[in-house]
Structure 1
Amino acid sequence: MLDMIWTDLGSPVPREQSLSYQPVSWPVGEPFFLTSPPEIVALPVLSDVIEGRRTRRSFGHVSLAQLSQWLWLTGRVMAVGHSNYGFPLTQRPVPSAGAIHPIHIVLSRSDQDGWQLYLPDMHALTPLLIPEQTRSEVRDELLPVIDIQNGIVVRFIAEQGKTSAKYVNADSLIWRDVGALVGQMALVAEALACNFCPMGITGHDWCARLKLEGRLVGTGLAVFGSR
């Protein structure tokens, strides 16, 4: 029988006095605005989506319309609220502890080199101005884990300081936030008749190479593709 190994992250509680935190300033280029999906979109009923969802590992090319609708239903900012933390609170399609939403979505698209950051308040993509990683290099890096084929590689990058501005022992909340986001992404992918596969690796090494004052941590990867 194996001994259980468990890292106790502590129970998060709100701080008696909240902290002020200045969010990371990403090195980015000009944004590319995605087209909002039509107001009336025929999607399967939720029970059919839940029953049909599977982790599938074949990934075709994703159109901009598919990508836009997927991000719209999982990541966009729907409403903005005031806070004393140095950044606004936001309402999005997924839950987040304290409405903080510390998880950034970074994408490698099949038809482009480099990485793109999703801007949830603008529903736009913007290139990361970092040493460029070609698409073939991304594929080779992940091949020991999964063949990404023509799918979109998704990195989940957490800004831990945002959640820590409100909570003591914030780390477990961040892991729960990314779990909620991954779960909704899987269901929305199924509703769009697309495939979605989360990976076990965190991708933190990539995050560390950004050298953004050590304020970003990798909390997972996934692949999103058409069928």
Structure 2
Amino acid sequence: MNWIDSGNPTPKSQPDAYTPHVWKSSHCRFFNAPGKNGNDDAQTGNAVREFFEVLQARRSRRAFSALQTNDLALLLWSCAGVLANTTSRYGFELELRPTPSAGAIHPIHILINLPGERGWCRYDARAHALFEIEGAHQTLLPLRPKVEAIMDCRHATLILLVAEPGKSFAKYDHASSLIWRDAGALSATLGLAAEALGLNFCSLGITGEPWASNLAATDVLTGVGLAAVGRPVP
């Protein structure tokens, strides 16, 4: 076994200025404005479950029926909605979200592919909306067949986690492990939120590489995880 030593992350004495990647987007789908608690029983039809019950019940589930729009809206908002933000010295704002992130940087983008649709969308956590990414269909075309080779994902919504490492490296030396930890925290939170909402969720070993990095110029983006989510099969 060859273990990769990624070093110990430390804040830079002089942070770098970083200009975040600008996504080329077209069609937009706005979700309904989230409620104060981000969890509306009337929208989901699911009773709110106790936190420790959710922890005990969480499982990877690999059978899916299609999500409803409110299912996806609540899942994304519950995990990644921006609750507050503030300025920073790094060239972008820091954000408070339900999922923890080193330095409040949140370098992980959530990309969505809905069943039966060719395009991929990016979840905009401030607008609480999906923005279709121009050209992503061709770039990410192999991903759904990769999942299909593992399990039946015809009716599943695919979630691709794409890191923008430059954001974390603006503040930290040796930031690589922080980015992977952010991706793990987001994946775990998505799984727990899906369980709480009565949805089936499964994280996959597929990272999204080498395709995710082709969505932008060299060394700007990289895939750090893929998952499938859907309603239980009746």
Q: Distance in 1 between matches of 2:141 and 2:166?
A: 33
- Following superposition, the deviation at residue 75 of structure 1 comes to 0.9
Whether 1:14 aligns to 2:11 is: yes
Whether 1:129 aligns to 2:134 is: yes
Deviations 1:31-84 (A, max 9, x none): 221113444634111011111110010011001000000001001111011101
Q: 1:148 to 1:136 in 2, by over 3 A?
A: farther
Q: Distance in 1 between matches of 2:186 and 2:137?
A: 27
Q: Distance in 2 between matches of 1:148 and 1:172?
A: 30
Q: Distance in 2 between matches of 1:17 and 1:38?
A: 40
Report the TM-score when normalising by structure 2: 0.90
**In the alignment, what sits opposite 1:146?**
151
Whether 1:188 aligns to 2:216 is: no
Deviations 1:193-216 (A, max 9, x none): 101100112112111322434300
**In the alignment, what sits opposite 2:94?**
89
- Structure 1 range deviating more: 31-40 or 153-162: 31-40
**In the alignment, what sits opposite 2:124?**
119
- For structure 2, which runs of at least 5 residues remain unmatched after alignment? 41-46
- Following superposition, the deviation at residue 90 of structure 1 comes to 0.3
**In the alignment, what sits opposite 1:27?**
24
**In the alignment, what sits opposite 2:221?**
216
Identity %: 40
- Structure 1 range deviating more: 202-211 or 187-196: 202-211
- For structure 1, which runs of at least 5 residues remain unmatched after alignment? none
CA contact (8 A) 1:108 1:116 kept: yes
Figure out how many residues of one structure are paired with residues of the other and give that number. 224
CA contact (8 A) 1:24 1:212 kept: no
Q: 1:127 to 1:120 in 2, by over 3 A?
A: same
Q: Distance in 2 between matches of 1:134 and 1:219?
A: 16
CA contact (8 A) 1:110 1:135 kept: no
- Structure 1 range deviating more: 42-51 or 154-163: 42-51
CA RMSD of aligned residues (A): 1.8
Q: 1:96 to 1:203 in 2, by over 3 A?
A: same
